[in-house]
């Protein structure tokens, strides 16, 4: 199976994809979603605890999903609730999540975020995100991003998967593939990419598009050398032809 060279990727990125009209882009995006659902299935949105999801997403930064899962399970086993985690010494918490990498940094971010959430409990001492459930999605995003260590992607993940809010998280894989597929201009910022994808993606497909694009990015469309021959998205992807790989 032939890979696309890094120089070809740079060439494609420099060219950008601006030729087709919006209707064609929307049709390609819908076809992309359909092809990925056939290959990877229709992701199911599980009823995740919002604080658990927030902690997991912080743990996921700069590591693999397997390491994230191990680190989170270590925390849940060691600490019966988040107050117990807050009361524990930083060094002890860091040891529990060391398998996820950047343990000292992530310990600080998690504890600071939990303390801030507790403060918003207005004296009740509760550590939950119930104050977000009836908020406007944009207001909820801003309130989450006020928490230490929470950026646009983390906020969107929590709000989409825990509260079913219409926000589309853009992580490394989604950002890379959406540009290669021509859905987002090469020069767009992450925030612009998120807004563009939210605008052109059907709302009921936010979860599917996000999850399956990540799966495809990990399995096939890697950063340096994507497997283009035989790729399930080849019929809707301009990358191979613009890089000179025809057939």
**pLDDT value at position 109?**
96
**pLDDT value at position 8?**
41
pLDDT tens, the chain, 247 aa long: 344 444 443 433 443 444 568 889 999 999 999 999 999 999 987 667 999 999 999 999 999 989 999 999 999 999 989 999 999 999 999 999 999 999 999 999 999 999 999 998 755 678 999 989 899 999 999 999 999 889 999 999 999 999 999 999 999 999 999 999 999 998 999 999 999 999 999 999 999 999 999 999 999 999 888 999 989 999 999 977 665 443 3
**pLDDT value at position 242?**
61
Question: What's the whole-model pTM score?
Answer: 0.85
Task: Tell me how far CA of residue 85 lies from CA of 67, 96, 118, 169, 204, in angstroms.
Answer: 19, 11, 13, 27, 36
Q: Which two tokens stand for residue 111?
A: 């504890």
| Domains within the chain, CATH numbers bracketed | 6-43+167-242 (1.10.1670.10), 50-163 (1.10.340.30)
Separation of alpha carbons 93 and 244, rounded Å:
51
Q: Which two tokens stand for residue 25?
A: 């882009």
**pLDDT value at position 4?**
42
**pLDDT value at position 105?**
96
Task: Tell me how far CA of residue 149 lies from CA of 92, 105, 111, 142, in angstroms.
Answer: 20, 10, 10, 13
**pLDDT value at position 18?**
46
């Amino acid at each position: 199976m032939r890979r696309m060279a890094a120089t070809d990727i740079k060439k494609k990125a420099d060219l950008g994809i601006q030729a087709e009209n919006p209707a064609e882009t929307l049709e390609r995006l819908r076809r992309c979603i359909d092809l990925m659902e056939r290959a990877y299935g229709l992701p199911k949105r599980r009823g995740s605890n919002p604080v658990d999801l927030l902690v997991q997403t912080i743990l996921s930064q700069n590591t693999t999903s397997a390491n994230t899962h191990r680190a989170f399970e270590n925390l849940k086993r060691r600490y019966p609730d988040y107050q117990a985690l807050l009361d524990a010494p930083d060094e002890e918490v860091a040891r529990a999540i060391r398998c996820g990498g950047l343990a000292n940094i992530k310990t600080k971010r998690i504890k600071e975020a939990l303390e801030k959430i507790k403060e918003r409990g207005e004296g009740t001492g509760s550590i939950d995100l119930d104050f977000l459930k009836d908020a406007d999605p944009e207001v909820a995003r801003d309130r989450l991003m006020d928490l230490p260590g929470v950026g646009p992607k983390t906020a969107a993940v929590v709000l989409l998967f825990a509260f079913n809010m219409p926000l589309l998280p853009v992580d490394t894989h989604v950002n890379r593939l959406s540009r290669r597929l021509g859905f987002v201009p090469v020069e767009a910022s992450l925030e612009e990419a998120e807004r563009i994808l939210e605008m052109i993606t059907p709302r009921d497909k936010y979860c599917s598009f996000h999850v399956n694009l990540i799966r495809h990015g990990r399995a096939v469309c890697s950063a340096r050398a994507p497997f283009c021959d035989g790729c399930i998205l080849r019929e809707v992807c301009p990358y191979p032809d613009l890089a000179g790989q025809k057939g």
